[in-house]
Structure 1
């Protein structure tokens, strides 16, 4: 009788199929929609820097409790692909190899703040330059109606993005790329291009900036051997972006 258990299947085809499914229900899917979004923006008429891309939007701004329920559902379901990736790594005995744990909190926080500073300041300068040169839309990163829960929910979205993107794009994907025989920098480059791809909806500046971020984060991940510092860094970057925008935008036209 033929053994049809998963362990009997060749590892390479199984890993390829697994990667395709994980990306297909998460950030790979986002990259496809992002490509469609930039095509729509380019064919709309106005220059990119005359268009605004709004994220973290209210669904029912006039009904606070229902809007909160929508936002919490968005955060919860947004984490599901990350949990799936962790589960698949655990099944194959690889979870511990990506450094997704709380064993070194001091190291993770320190390196996380360092990575956020290294990426965040040049990233802001690059965004402004890309927008002024017409390569990027105006990004409005926080558009929730003002409620008592607005800031906590924006913090929740920041944490969700950090967990989802770094666990999948670094921890999970680079581990599977290693097992598929890709050279380390090839894997980092592919991951970085996908990262840029799902930010293309912001414009070409968003694409290039996030490819650079992906290359830098990939190098840091390989050097440190832990994904947690990059989760921390990404969360910090989005906290500053989302909450900073929400607090400052009503009082300035700079954005």
Structure 2
């Protein structure tokens, strides 16, 4: 048992990922990582921190404040739909950027788990991970909100139009793709190439994941750090990124679409 725990805490570095020793290449990779996250989730983290500070400075407690994740952008239905789809495209492009940069660096897609050779296993693992995180995550959210450490999170504030459910599913998929590719697959791979250890890389990835959820409150930060630790370690040991994308997409789909359908029906939903 002790050996298994030690192996889980410090998984072996996978084959095919070599540490970069050339100073010029190391500098280039470091600059690349900073640029990627300065225009994606790193910037989102900074904005989320400001949002949390703004909420803390309000005269009402966090639990009496609310934040919506999917909101209307226009009173005109077609324009609003196009806004939502542009948001989906942006997230898909963020994830594609991470994949492209790794590909250009000589990293095979199969080495990070984005090949299609284990579709059944990836799907099963994704369902299991979604259940592992989703149910306890909901309970944790209700607890931290009840004790005043989190805002009330409304997964959807879109109007009841014909395209609401499909757009929410697309948003869930795009969110999961962008987050898991960049924050897990891309970032940890690049940190491995820079010589970082597995635990150190995992911690940075998880804190980054928590940072861009700070707008939800302290519970959103802690809950997503825990999610990052679990998902990141699973990937470090399995190298199957599709499993994480599936799991995250399932959680977000249930949250987004379920909230839209059950709001006004289930009494405790805001």
Q: 1:68-122, CA deviations, whole angstroms, 9 ceiling, x for partnerless residues? A: 1111111112222211111101101114221112221101100000000111111
Unaligned runs of 5+ residues in structure 1 are 1-7
Q: Say yes or no: does 1:144 pair with 2:169.
A: no
Decide whether the 8 Å contact of 2:91 with 2:177 is kept in 1: no
- Give the 3-state SS of the residue equivalent to 1:251 in structure 2: coil
How far apart are the structure 2 equivalents of 1:234 and 1:202? 18
Question: Which residue is 2:127 aligned to?
Answer: 113
Q: CA deviation at 1:10?
A: 2.0
For residue 104 of structure 2, the aligned residue among 91, 109, 130 is: 91
Q: Say yes or no: does 1:42 pair with 2:56.
A: yes
Which shifted more, 73-82 or 11-20?
Answer: 73-82
For residue 66 of structure 1, the aligned residue among 79, 88, 92 is: 79
Question: Which residue is 2:136 aligned to?
Answer: 122
Q: Say yes or no: does 1:229 pair with 2:229.
A: no
Question: Which residue is 2:267 aligned to?
Answer: 253
Q: 1:183-233, CA deviations, whole angstroms, 9 ceiling, x for partnerless residues? A: 001100000001000000000000000000000001110121111100000
How far apart are the structure 2 equivalents of 1:166 and 1:201? 20
Question: Which residue is 1:51 aligned to?
Answer: 65
How far apart are the structure 2 equivalents of 1:175 and 1:225? 10
Which shifted more, 77-86 or 127-136?
Answer: 77-86
Decide whether the 8 Å contact of 1:86 with 1:95 is kept in 2: no
Decide whether the 8 Å contact of 1:52 with 1:137 is kept in 2: yes
How far apart are the structure 2 equivalents of 1:156 and 1:101? 21
Question: Which residue is 2:39 aligned to?
Answer: 25
For residue 92 of structure 2, the aligned residue among 72, 79, 101 is: 79
Question: Which residue is 2:15 aligned to?
Answer: none
Q: CA deviation at 1:253?
A: 3.5
Decide whether the 8 Å contact of 1:154 with 1:243 is kept in 2: yes
Decide whether the 8 Å contact of 1:49 with 1:138 is kept in 2: yes
Q: Say yes or no: does 1:180 pair with 2:194.
A: yes
How far apart are the structure 1 equivalents of 2:193 and 2:31? 13
How far apart are the structure 1 equivalents of 2:212 and 2:35? 16
How far apart are the structure 1 equivalents of 2:252 and 2:194? 32
TM-score, scaled relative to structure 2 = 0.89
How far apart are the structure 2 equivalents of 1:250 and 1:23? 38
- Give the 3-state SS of the residue equivalent to 1:237 in structure 2: helix
